[in-house]
Amino acid sequence: MNEVSRRGLMAFGVAAGAAGLLARPALAQSRYPTRPITLLCPWGAGGGTDATARIIGALLEKDLGQPINVVNRTGGNGVVGHSAIATAQPDGYTIGIITVEIAMLHHAGLTNLTYKDYRPLALMNEDPPGVQVSASSPYKDIKELADAIKAAPAGKMKASGTGQGGIWHRR
């Protein structure tokens, strides 16, 4: 067994103390977050993006111990909310959900914003596209439906989708 010298014991104590100081945050720093966080959603309340924002907000609130306030900033086919996210103070207390439309809105002439105006933190959601009809519909595939739409008089068939610049917008 090695004999412990006073000099070795002191060196060990200094090294352990330094490691302890380095491993802790500075005493003047408070734990993040210290106040509520705003989560901006560029789409209306009740929609899919809003539902995702509220689920993510509830999970973050539980993990971070601070309220997460989902704020819907609608208008301009997503431009208003996406602009609010891009121009928010970069202080960590305003975050947002950007959607795929940000890749198209500038091409439609609705904004100068592009994906380059954001710093992504996480991918939270993916929405696969699809076309659905009632189970009792006579259309068995997309070709039959497309043929029926082409043959029908204008205004006879109804569908839903997004507005100008939205993911389903087609010129």
Tens of each residue's pLDDT in the chain, 171 residues: 455 565 655 555 555 555 554 555 556 678 899 999 999 999 999 988 999 999 999 999 999 999 999 999 999 889 999 999 999 999 999 999 999 888 888 888 899 999 999 999 999 888 777 888 889 999 999 999 999 999 999 989 888 776 666 666 655
**Burial annotation 123-138 (CB, 10 A radius, 16+ → b, else e):** eeeeeeeeeeeeeeee
pLDDT, residue 29, reads: 72
Q: Are 92 and 103 in contact (CB under 8 A)?
A: no
Give pLDDT, residue 149: 93
Nearest to 133 by CA among 160, 163, 169: 160
* DSSP sequence for 7-44: HHHHHHHHHHHHHHHHHSPPTTPPPSPSS-EEEEESS-
Q: What is the pTM of this model?
A: 0.67
pLDDT score of 87? 96
Distance CA 165, CA 105 (A): 5
Give the per-residue pLDDT at 27: 65
Residue 72: helix, strand or coil by DSSP? strand
Predicted local confidence at residue 164, as pLDDT: 61
The helix/strand/coil state of 154 is coil
DSSP 84: H
pLDDT score of 45: 95
